[in-house]
Amino acid sequence: MTDRLYAKHMWRISLTILLFCCTTLHAQQPSGYTIEQLLQQLDAADDAETESWESIYDVVCDIAENPINLNTATKEDLQRLPFLTNQQIEDIQAYLYQYGDMQSMGELAMISSLDEVRMELLRHCSYISTTNAQGFPSWSTIAKYGKHNATLTGKIPFYKRKGDDNGYLGYPYRHSLRYSYGYGDYLKVGLTAAQDAGEPFFKGGNGMGYDHYSYYLVIRKLGRLKSLTLGHYKLRTGMGLVANNDIAFGKTMLLPTLLRPTATLRPYASRSSANYLQGAAATVEIVKHLDVTPFVSYRYIDATLRTDIPDAIATIVKSGYHRTPTEMEKKHNASMTNAGMHMEWKNNGFHLGATGLYTHLSMPLKPKTQQDYRRYSASGDSFWNASMDYGYTSNRLTVSGETAINDQHAIATANAASLRLSGAWQVTALQRFYSYRYYSLLANSFSDGGSVQNESGLYVGAEWRPSRRLAVSAYADVAHFPWKKYQADQSSNAWDANLAASYTTKPLTLSLHYRYRTKQKNNQQKTALTDDATHRLRLAAAWHHGAWSTLTQGYMAINDYKQSSRGWMASQQVAWQHRGTLQIAAHIAWFHTDDYASRIYSFERGPMYEFYFPAFYGEGIRYSLLAKATLSAKVSLLARMATTNYFDRDHISSGLQQIDHSSMTDLELQLRLRL
């Protein structure tokens, strides 16, 4: 009875907040799709792409806070936008060279390679100004005209997990604070503080308050200093075979980013407490056409220590959770030092670069190699990697690649080419070979197996875009794993094929996405390999006219492994906005799957910086209501309530996460200030 009264009381509070959002007075704000809606329209993510989409969403939101002036943007500035292809970057620069400064965003329609979605994304991430660039502004100008942005986000659960009463060190509320101060493309300073549900706050190992803090200072375009980053940052060199903790490359829209292997530095402002560097990094133009990017990092990491070997690391933990005494014991119990440099020469479309990386751990990494698939995992306390990256870019052809070696003298190489056959056709091919003895603790590149190790493969893709209305793309990727992998006790293969099509005739957009993936795994008797095959199909119809927009979607998943599994989902989203001052969005989905193997992934709209692509399995219904009120040009408030109601169970999840009900409801609140 107490739980029911508590839930009833919280429902009243949440409905009051939603009504407040719906009745707040008005101010002007640009209309159109949100960033996450536009990214979702570019392609459909799935279980293999989720990390990629989280990365790109965070990057695009960060740039949108301090957009780029298209008229003064360099090629490096445009390459910061991960949704643009090399062809689109070349076409934007060619248009500016031929016709001079743009006078309005409407001129983007004159660039034939830009589709409607990317033009809308550019409206979020860039602006048009005809003011002549005067070089790096004075510090007094930065102090006077810089912009403050602050975002406070919180999540309130209307249920209790088993660990909330006994097990978790903190309360069940998730919240974060994100602040930045910036002036155009030139300077940005920021701080992020984040707390996950169950983590202690100002106690129990978190005496400084939040469980995770991220801070940074970025300076760009200061003479020969192209970029300087202090604090927490992300880095990518080449194609990621040596160093990449930036964007995780998928097989769809992020592939064009992989094909431009220039060094990339970004501030790290995520709420996750893993996968970042801490220290200093800079890109300096030594002489014309030659850039050098030195970097150094020292940070504490989470690790599971060996119980049978003193002062040795079994695994590096990247979950970022510190909710229980066991998880808290792993927090910052080891450290990692990274130092390296990337040199890059570019001229007339040609590119040649070199990367060196040294990594040292405070105690040796000694994974449990009794399991054969871990036999060639990284081991030791010091590691080095080196690579050469190379390429050529023109308005029709892009060729790029990187070849790397590690301290075991093992090789990794990835090489790609993209050719625009005509205004409508573009083909891409990518080959990779990653030795089973190769490893780098910072590596992240194109792969099917999830790591730059123990894989060789070939990817071939094509895109046909005869007009802005119609786009068809397809790819096939085959991979071979010469050494054993998890759930595969001998060398194995994988196959991945994808077909996507979309047709837009305002105000309607129709799209289809089909993907077939198969990977060899052990059979039930573990005597041979068998195929784990999954079909996924998504059909969608999006309609946008005036203040109203809808999105109707149907999903299907079929998995055949040790047994057959089927699943489907039907969802409907409806959104309405009033002159950019009030937005209301409702979402409902009904799903039915046999088990987790046929789970369905579905995009949901949420607060800024919060990416939602949850998986659903079993039988149930999911519904949510979002309301956003723009109180003025400086203040906006968002509230979102979401419920998942299962029909096939009396409890949700297990262990400390178990909820002793068949439904779960959360309320999210976000306050954004721009000064």
**For all residues of the chain together, what is the average pLDDT?**
87
Q: Are 432 and 453 in contact (CB under 8 A)?
A: no
β-strand pairing of 663-674 with 290-305: unpaired
Note if the bond before 367 is cis, omega within 30 degrees: no
Closest CA to 580 of 34, 95, 83: 34
pLDDT tens readout for residues 136-160: 888 999 999 999 999 999 999 999 9
What does the pLDDT read at residue 621? 97
- Dihedral sign for Cα 118, 121, 125, 126, please: positive
In the predicted model, is pLDDT for residue 29 greater than 60?
Answer: no
**Which of helix, strand or coil describes residue 70?**
coil
Q: Are 621 and 590 in contact (CB under 8 A)?
A: yes
Report how far residue 113's alpha carbon sits from residue 504's, in angstroms, rounded to the nearest whole number.
15
Report how far residue 216's alpha carbon sits from residue 231's, in angstroms, rounded to the nearest whole number.
4
In the predicted model, is pLDDT for residue 48 greater than 50?
Answer: no
Task: Note if the pTM is more than 0.75.
Answer: yes
Q: Which range is least confidently modeled, 64-68, 129-133, 521-525, 650-654? A: 129-133
373: DSSP letter:
G
In the predicted model, is pLDDT for residue 89 greater than 70?
Answer: yes
What does the pLDDT read at residue 152? 96
Closest CA to 201 of 235, 226, 174: 174
In the predicted model, is pLDDT for residue 558 greater than 80?
Answer: yes
Give the pLDDT band of residue 49 (cuts 50, 70, 90).
Answer: low
What does the pLDDT read at residue 52? 60
In the predicted model, is pLDDT for residue 16 greater than 70?
Answer: no
Which pair of tokens denotes residue 18?
A: 């939603």
Closest CA to 378 of 320, 436, 433: 436
What does the pLDDT read at residue 507? 86
Residue type at position 100 = G
Q: Which residues pair with 195 in a beta bridge?
A: 175
Closest CA to 449 of 9, 12, 10, 48: 48
The full length of the chain comes to 675
Q: Which range is least confidently modeled, 219-223, 282-286, 298-302? A: 219-223
- Mean pLDDT value across residues 394-413: 92
β-strand pairing of 635-646 with 126-127: unpaired
Give the pLDDT band of residue 9 (cuts 50, 70, 90).
Answer: very low
Which value, to the nearest 10 degrees, does the dihedral of the CA atoms of residues 10, 207, 270, 338 take?
Answer: -160
- Mean pLDDT value across residues 2-28: 41
- Position with higher pLDDT, 125 vs 281: 281
- Position with higher pLDDT, 605 vs 564: 564
- Mean pLDDT value across residues 535-552: 91
- Mean pLDDT value across residues 504-528: 91
Give the pLDDT band of residue 1 (cuts 50, 70, 90).
Answer: very low
What does the pLDDT read at residue 7? 44
Closest CA to 482 of 490, 494, 474: 490
Which pair of tokens denotes residue 549?
A: 């927009």
In this prediction, what percent of the chain has a pLDDT beyond 90?
59
What does the pLDDT read at residue 250? 63
pLDDT tens readout for residues 455-495: 999 999 998 988 878 889 899 999 999 999 999 999 999 99
In the predicted model, is pLDDT for residue 515 greater than 80?
Answer: yes
Q: Are 42 and 253 in contact (CB under 8 A)?
A: yes
Q: Are 412 and 438 in contact (CB under 8 A)?
A: yes
Residue with token string 């604090």: 231
Q: Which range is least confidently modeled, 378-387, 391-400, 429-438, 518-527? A: 391-400
**Which of helix, strand or coil describes residue 41?**
helix
Burial of 318 (0-12, 13-18, 19+ CB in 10 A): exposed
Q: What is the 3-state secondary structure (H, E, C) of 176-210?
A: EEEEEEEECCCEEEEEEEEECCCCCCCCCCCCCCC
- Mean pLDDT value across residues 391-403: 89
Q: How far is CA 193 from CA 149, 154, 177, 533, in A?
A: 14, 12, 5, 41
What does the pLDDT read at residue 17? 42
β-strand pairing of 68-69 with 126-127: parallel
What does the pLDDT read at residue 4? 47
In the predicted model, is pLDDT for residue 247 greater than 80?
Answer: no
What does the pLDDT read at residue 423? 73
In the predicted model, is pLDDT for residue 216 greater than 60?
Answer: yes
Own/partner contacts of 403-407, CB < 8 Å, gap of 24 or more, are 403/241, 404/238, 404/241, 404/242, 404/355, 404/438, 404/440, 404/443, 405/438, 406/437, 406/438, 406/439, 406/440, 407/382, 407/383
- Dihedral sign for Cα 257, 262, 263, 267, please: negative
Report how far residue 93's alpha carbon sits from residue 84's, in angstroms, rounded to the nearest whole number.
12
Give the pLDDT band of residue 61 (cuts 50, 70, 90).
Answer: confident
pLDDT tens readout for residues 194-206: 999 999 999 988 9
- Mean pLDDT value across residues 235-247: 90
Give the pLDDT band of residue 22 (cuts 50, 70, 90).
Answer: very low
- Mean pLDDT value across residues 265-278: 88
- Mean pLDDT value across residues 217-225: 93
- Mean pLDDT value across residues 343-353: 92
- Dihedral sign for Cα 114, 39, 233, 336, please: negative
Q: Are 568 and 554 in contact (CB under 8 A)?
A: yes
Report how far residue 401's alpha carbon sits from residue 388's, in angstroms, rounded to the nearest whole number.
8
Q: Are 492 and 485 in contact (CB under 8 A)?
A: yes
**Which of helix, strand or coil describes residue 372?**
helix
Q: Which range is least confidently modeled, 147-156, 205-214, 606-615, 651-660? A: 606-615
Closest CA to 304 of 324, 327, 335, 276: 327
Give the pLDDT band of residue 133 (cuts 50, 70, 90).
Answer: low
In the predicted model, is pLDDT for residue 327 greater than 70?
Answer: yes
